[in-house]
Amino acid sequence: MLAELVGHRVVVGSKQLRKALEAGKATYVVLAQNADPAITEPIEAMCRLHNVAYSWIGSKSELGTMCGIEVGAAAAAAVD
C-alpha cells in the first residue's frame, strides 16, 4: 500500500471520492493509469482545484488490491 494511504480511512470509487474532495476530507488521491480518462481526468482536475496531492498507479487491479478489494478501482483517496 502507498505510504500516503496507510493509517487513513480509504474511500474507493469515483463517486465517493468526488464527495470527499468536495467536502474537503480527501488528503491524498491515487488514480489508476489504465482507467477510463472520462473518470480520472475530472478527479485529477478536482485535486488541483482543491490542492489535494495525487499520484498515479499502474493499473486498476493493482489499486483495488492495495485497497483490499477484489475488483479493480479507478481511484481511491485517503480521508480524515
- Residue extents of the structural domains in the chain: 9-79
Fold of 9-79: 60s Ribosomal Protein L30; Chain: A; (3.30.1330)
> pLDDT tens for residues 54-68?
999 999 999 998 888
> Rounded CA gap, 12 and 73, in Å?
7
DSSP count for the chain of H helices, then E strands: 3, 4
> Rounded CA gap, 41 and 9, in Å?
23
Q: Is the pTM of this model over 0.75?
A: yes
Tell me the torsion sign for CA atoms 36, 2, 14, 28.
Answer: negative
> pLDDT tens for residues 9-42?
999 988 999 999 999 999 999 999 999 999 999 9
> Rounded CA gap, 11 and 44, in Å?
15
